[in-house]
Amino acid sequence: MEALLGTVLALLIIATLLYPFFSSRRGAKRHALTHPPIQDEPILRRSIYREMVNLQSDFEAGYMSPAEHSKQLAEMKVAAAESMRRENAAKRQMIEAELRIEREVQRARSIALKDECSQE
Amino acid sequence: MADLGSIALALGALVSAYATIGSLLGVRAAIPELIISSKRAIYMSLLAAAVASATLLAAFLSNDFTIKYVYENSNLAMGRGYTLVAFYAANEGSLLYIILALSLMSAVSIMLAPRRFQSAMPYTTAILGGILCFFFATTLALANPFERLDFTALDGRGINPLLLHPGLYSHPPLTMAGLIGISIPFAFSTGALISGLYGDDWVDIARVFAIIMWGLLGIGMLIGAWWAYTILGWGGYWSWDPIENVALMPWLVLTAFIHSIMVQRRRGMFRMWNIALINIAFVLAQLGVFINRGGTVVSVHSFAESSLGIVFMCFMIVSLIFAFTIFLWRLPSLQSARNIESFLSREASFLVNNFMLIVITSVTLWGVVFPLFSSLARDVDVSVSAPYFNRVNGPVLLGLIIVMGIGPLLPWRRASSRSIQRWLIPPILTAAIILLLLLISGIREPWALLGFAAIAFAATSILEEWWLGTRARMRNLRESIPLAWWHLVNGNRPRHGGYIVHLAVLALAMGVIGTQFFDQRYDAAIKPGESLVIDNYRIEYIARKSDDRPDRLAQWAELNVYSIHMADYSDGFARATAAGKAGFVTDDAKRSGDRLIGRVEPRHETHRNFNMVSVRSGIMSGPIKDLYVIPRDFLADGRVSLAVSINPLALWLWIAGPIFLVGTIVALWPHPALERSAYRARISEAQSRIDGTAQTA
């Protein structure tokens, strides 16, 4: 009985470990190696916003002067804008890549069409 | 059941090894499937650990005495409620518990890891898998809790009687989980370093897990102190025992880390320092495992000793070399973009606080390892006891409390000396008033006076902070006092949670000063009808009771406690003072001013199977002082030998626990999604207000 339970456990573990090799979720697999900025930047900005709120609370509680607050807030805004810029650049790159692929496909189709026409 | 447990441990060792090798191969050969599969291996190691743990629990519940560990740590008479305690009562089971805790925390941390950390994740997985593999393999090969017994046993030996205490449901599991859990922030910081993520991507998750481990360790140590106070029968709660110290040291370093990590989050500074701190905490946690399990150091926590010392020492050395090799390799890339602008800034106060915490850690570490060096180098057995630690660490701890009072008053970047002077006036005034009142009341102990003044100083600075913040909100936002305070705390939970924890530390400091400097003690043997008088208590011995069971003989004394007017007993006190004693024995009839305030029943339990006596002290607690009665011996002539202490402010040691817990939870509590979505609106509103102010100016 115990040997049987042990075997079931071992099989369950092996199946779980092998599953990614037979799964079709390519995107998830790719994500294990890369970290596309499109997905990461909003998370990064959320952490900047959280710090902004902390800063804001500190300011409202009178812990710092308006000038000091503005200076620190400006630094955070620059970081957030930089993150936004990276995300947009990544988006642009992705759209360009998709367009490139689309053009390649179109070209392949037109060549195939030409070939068909020439054969006819 | 033994076979299933051993199979689960073997599978755990294999899958965690696979997690390490698979992650590294996957990232090296760019095979995403292998990386994902390795991540799943960590989840599977949790499954293996859970199956092994469930098997051991089932063996305890079914009294399977064919398993040696079950035979040695339980018997038929043991209440079912103590099964959990029996699970980690000795070395083998506690190692299995460590595996379960680490695999659970590893799985949760991997699941919660931010997506932007994904490129470093394979290395983090590999480190966690490596640590898990070591513990699985060591347990399986050298301390297997499923080892079979050589003979047939009808009943077990029973659980160690010292563990039969409610505190033992939480003290060992919290402390062990806290120590091993330091592996999580370590794995994230080192994973980030190896992958070349030099930024702050690892900070959030490492901070969360560091605070969780810090909270677990802190609460675990406090409950351990309470256990020692109530059951060990020596009247204390902290003896600077090596095992206590090896839990305290990582806690101190984590305290430094969770302060300085705020500087990295807020100002992008102290990157190098933070990674060094988390490395030190991890190595110290491994030192704790080494000393706890077969180190040469003598300790009251002997139930977890084993002959595995050399294995854990090797693991500790490997951890040390690995952690600091990676650190030194990446050191040039860890430079912070900014420097401290002024000594009068919050960053600088964190640095001073870190320095003091590291000094205390170093002093404590020296006290722990010196007997080892002495034994190895000179073949001389020495022990470093409490006076060394108190004398060296005491003044630094005092300094730390003062910094705790100054730090919150300082803003980030820099403060003007004028504003500092203005903010410091209320705390200094309060400290001076407290000092004066204590002097008037006759207290002359300089360290105690300084300690109480420092506590008053730090407490006032926190209250001042809250008052200034609350008042500002009341003025600016027209909020009522409770609402303004609530919004203030909610607005920056890490900061205000920290202040609540500071209050807990101050309560703890009060208890320590009270019990260290003002305790009184009187030992005497009294017969029924006689009373022992100490401070403003008369303790009358009523009768001796006993309960004889197959596994133990319990004896206890019924003692009535009266509150007295000390003037009614002036003769006795005069005799005691002349003899240099704190109390005296009397058989006089009670005085008219005596008032019965309760009954205590200190007891002895002689456990035959273990040839051991466990002691339960009789304690009557109050906010000002504890009456603490230890039954030394039940004598043949019917007398009972008692050691009675007055422990001033001892209750504050335990009050600190819940405050500490609340503060930790507040600091960790995440922002709700609704609040997150309102961030930008609040920020832009504030910005327009500032712009408006600037234009008006």
| Residues B30-74 pLDDT 10s | 888 899 999 999 999 999 999 999 999 999 999 889 999 999 888
Q: Using CB atoms within 10 A of its CB, is residue B625 exposed (0-12), middle (13-18) or buried (19+)? A: buried
E strand or H helix that includes residue B612: strand B612-616
Question: Contact, B120 vs B197, CB < 8 A?
Answer: yes
**Rounded to a whole number, what is the distance in Å from the CA of A77 to chain B's nearest CA?**
10
- pLDDT band at B653, cuts 50/70/90? very high
Task: Enumerate helices (H) and strands (E) in chain B, giving the number of each.
Answer: 22, 11
Least trusted range by pLDDT, from B237-246, B400-409, B483-492, B587-596: B587-596
A59 contacts B468? CB cut-off 8 A = no
CA dist B9 to B2, B128, B139, B173, Å? Answer: 11, 16, 8, 20
Which DSSP symbol is given to B589?
P
Closest partner CB to A20 (pick from B30, B33, B468): B33
> What token pair was written down for B27?
């990232």
- Sheet of B520-526: strand order equals B520-526, B640-648, B625-634, B618-620
Structure-model confidence comparison of residues B165 and B220, the more confident one: B220
3-state SS assignment for residue B638: coil
A30 contacts B676? CB cut-off 8 A = no
Mind listing the pLDDT tens digit for each residue in B66-104? 999 999 888 887 878 888 888 988 889 999 999 999 999
pLDDT reading at B568 higher than 90: no
CA B271 to chain centroid = 26
C-alpha B41/C-alpha B103 separation (Å) is: 10
Mind listing the pLDDT tens digit for each residue in B342-357? 777 888 889 999 999 9
Residue linked to tokens 């952690």: B323
B27 to chain A: which residues are within 8 Å by CB?
33
Question: Contact, B265 vs B333, CB < 8 A?
Answer: no
Mind listing the pLDDT tens digit for each residue in B255-313? 999 999 888 877 777 888 899 999 999 999 999 888 887 655 555 555 455 678 888 88
CA dist B525 to A5, B3, B321, B360, Å? Answer: 61, 55, 57, 41
C-alpha B124/C-alpha B598 separation (Å) is: 57
B114 contacts A17? CB cut-off 8 A = no
Question: Contact, B245 vs B222, CB < 8 A?
Answer: no
B1 contacts A53? CB cut-off 8 A = no
A64 contacts B412? CB cut-off 8 A = yes
3-state SS assignment for residue B584: strand
- pLDDT band at B697, cuts 50/70/90? very low
Structure-model confidence comparison of residues B417 and B467, the more confident one: B467
**To the nearest whole number, what is the mean pLDDT of chain B?**
87
E strand or H helix that includes residue A69: helix A66-119
Determine the residue of chain A that is closest to B469 in CA distance.
Answer: A61
pLDDT reading at A48 higher than 80: no
β-bridge mates for residue B604, sequence order = B555, B615
**To the nearest whole number, what is the mean pLDDT of chain A?**
76
Percentage above 70 pLDDT, chain B: 93
Average pLDDT over residues B380-394: 83
B32 to chain A: which residues are within 8 Å by CB?
20, 29-33
**Rounded to a whole number, what is the distance in Å from the CA of B282 to chain A's nearest CA?**
26
- The pLDDT value recorded for residue B326 is 92
Largest alpha-carbon pair distance within chain A?
83
Average pLDDT over residues B1-18: 92
B47 contacts A35? CB cut-off 8 A = no
CA-CA-CA-CA torsion for B182, B184, B188, B194, nearest 10 degrees? Answer: 80
B687 to chain A: which residues are within 8 Å by CB?
73
pLDDT reading at B320 higher than 90: yes
pLDDT reading at B422 higher than 90: no
Percentage above 70 pLDDT, chain A: 79
Residue B351: name the closest of B281, B274, B297, B418 by CA: B274
Residue linked to tokens 């898990």: B132
Least trusted range by pLDDT, from B181-190, B322-331, B416-425, B573-582: B416-425
β-bridge mates for residue B541, sequence order = B559
- The pLDDT value recorded for residue A43 is 66
> What token pair was written down for B578?
């002349």
| Mutation site for B-interface testing, chosen from A2, A65, A83 by largest number of B Cβ within 10 Å | A2
3-state SS assignment for residue B668: helix
C-alpha B22/C-alpha B31 separation (Å) is: 9
Question: Contact, B225 vs B238, CB < 8 A?
Answer: yes
C-alpha B409/C-alpha B349 separation (Å) is: 10
In degrees and rounded to multiples of 5, residue B530 shows phi and psi of -85, 160
pLDDT reading at B692 higher than 60: no
Residue linked to tokens 């599978």: B11
- pLDDT band at B3, cuts 50/70/90? confident
pLDDT reading at B570 higher than 90: no
| Mutation site for B-interface testing, chosen from A40, A57, A69, A87 by largest number of B Cβ within 10 Å | A57
Other CB atoms within a 10 A radius of the CB of residue B466 amount to 18
**Rounded to a whole number, what is the distance in Å from the CA of B362 to chain A's nearest CA?**
34
Determine the residue of chain A that is closest to B413 in CA distance.
Answer: A68
A2 contacts B4? CB cut-off 8 A = yes
B488 contacts A61? CB cut-off 8 A = yes
**Rounded to a whole number, what is the distance in Å from the CA of A105 to chain B's nearest CA?**
27
Average pLDDT over residues B554-573: 90
Which DSSP symbol is given to B37?
H
Least trusted range by pLDDT, from A93-102, B169-178, B237-246: A93-102
B36 to chain A: which residues are within 8 Å by CB?
20, 28-29, 32
Question: Contact, B514 vs B530, CB < 8 A?
Answer: no
| Mutation site for A-interface testing, chosen from B103, B118, B203 by largest number of A Cβ within 10 Å | B118
Percentage above 90 pLDDT, chain B: 46
C-alpha B262/C-alpha B497 separation (Å) is: 13
CA A38 to chain centroid = 5
pLDDT reading at A37 higher than 60: no
β-bridge mates for residue B436, sequence order = none
Residue linked to tokens 């000795």: B90
Closest partner CB to B679 (pick from A13, A52, A70): A52
CA-CA-CA-CA torsion for B597, B652, B459, A61, nearest 10 degrees? Answer: -100
- The pLDDT value recorded for residue B674 is 44
**Rounded to a whole number, what is the distance in Å from the CA of A7 to chain B's nearest CA?**
9
- The pLDDT value recorded for residue B695 is 47
Residue B423: name the closest of B446, B407, B438, B441 by CA: B407
pLDDT reading at B432 higher than 80: yes
Largest alpha-carbon pair distance within chain B?
91
A57 to chain B: which residues are within 8 Å by CB?
488, 491-492
